[in-house]
Structure formats: C-alpha cells, structure tokens
Amino acid sequence: STFRLARTQAPSLPQQQLMAAGSGSAPVDEVSAAFQEDGEDDGYVPPPKTELKEILQKEETDESLRRYRESLLAGASVDAGNKDDPRVVIFDIFTVLLEGRPPLEFRLNTEAELELLSQSKFVVKQGTTFQFRVTFRVQHDIVAGLQYRNVVKKHGIRVDRTSQMLGSFAPRAEPYVFDFPPEEAPTGFFARGSYKATTQFVDDDKQTHLEFSYKFDIAKDWE
C-alpha cells in the first residue's frame, strides 16, 4: 500500500505513566478523537469477558470454535508474566524496516525509552518501501481485538490516519511479533518534509495499552 498524505481521515512502569511518557506534547486521547471524528468508533459493545481459566476448562462442541480456541490458546499459560506488573500487554520493541537500510529498533519498556523515541527522528527516502514491526508480550489474561491506530501530522495538520487489527492473543512466555503491511513513501515536493506520528494500541474493551509518538522525515535521499 502507499502512504497517502492527502487522506483526511526490563523494569516496568504503571501503564498510565508509560502512556504519558510516550505521547510527548500530544493529548493522550488525540488518536481516539481522530477516529471518533471520522465515525470509525461505531459503538460496538464487546461480549461479556470470560476469564482465561474458565476458557481453558470449558469443553467446546462446535468444531470451528474448538479449532479457533486451540489456535488462540496454543502455549497459553495463566502463570505467564510478572505477577507484580498489572499490564496485560507489554510492548518491548518498535522496529522500522527501511528498504536497503539496516532496521531501526526502539525499545518501549520504560519512560526513558519512550521519551527517547518521541525525541528521535528517522529518514525515509521518497518512493521507497518501509514497514513497521512490533514485538510484545501478553500476560495474566487474553487480550481481545488488539488494534493499532496511528495519526500522522505535518505542521500540526492531520494528513494520515491508519488502523490495523492485530488480533486476539493469549498469555504465554514467548513474545509475539507482528509485521505490518509494507507501505510506499510518497514522492514529490509537497510530500517531502517533517512529520509527527502518534500511535495507540487499543483492544475491544477500548482499553489503551500503550501510546507513543515519533518523528520522521520524507526526503529526496537517505541523508
């Protein structure tokens, strides 16, 4: 797909501290407000939450549901994670894959790491392909309908709004790695310049698990 600028659309910290640290000067609800403004929050009400232990013990007679449950719960463990850390989803690494360049990795675990990311800036050469990857862990319980939301601004004006469903994930010892679809950087005089993006990860219950910001330039060349 193409990045369409014309579109208007370690130690752990408590979740609220991480969200505030990564958001820079942007309001914590800036991304949610952008999606509500464009009518994409449609009032969906998720079904009642079922505890992981109950799901693991339940006998499923429907074959398709049984296969789905087996896929979702493969390797699941109610004991996975740090009992002293209340977070259900822990994001570890945000990776930027750039065509023909070494990958850029940004850690997401601490306030200092999120602040470093918010102050960092990377360059994307116009017309080249880039891709995001996120590495995260799930503990304590299932996260249902984990979704990525991203709002991009140039000179304070929103120029892009993107969402991507990651899926539902059960707690386990091994981290999950999700690769986003590749995108193509736009070209031309009006596309080049400096941008600021604000990213949110939310679930079906409208719980925000992490919010952070980063900056990037679209340029004629890599340097």
- Look at residue 7 in the predicted model and tell me its pLDDT: 36
- Look at residue 6 in the predicted model and tell me its pLDDT: 38
Tell me how far apart the alpha carbons of residues 170 and 178 are, in angstroms, rounded to a whole number. Answer: 14
Tell me how far apart the alpha carbons of residues 24 and 87 are, in angstroms, rounded to a whole number. Answer: 21
CB contact at 8 A, 18 and 114: yes
Across the 223 residues of the chain, what is the mean pLDDT of every consecutive 10-residue run? 43 43 48 64 55 55 59 63 88 96 95 95 96 95 93 95 93 93 95 96 94 96 88
Catalogue the E-assigned strands of 48-119.
89-98, 104-107
- Look at residue 81 in the predicted model and tell me its pLDDT: 73
- Look at residue 41 in the predicted model and tell me its pLDDT: 59
Tell me how far apart the alpha carbons of residues 138 and 72 are, in angstroms, rounded to a whole number. Answer: 12
Parallel, antiparallel or unpaired: strands 121-125 and 157-169 = unpaired
- Look at residue 133 in the predicted model and tell me its pLDDT: 98
CB contact at 8 A, 195 and 215: yes
Supply the DSSP symbol for 99: T
- Look at residue 173 in the predicted model and tell me its pLDDT: 87
Tell me how far apart the alpha carbons of residues 85 and 162 are, in angstroms, rounded to a whole number. Answer: 30
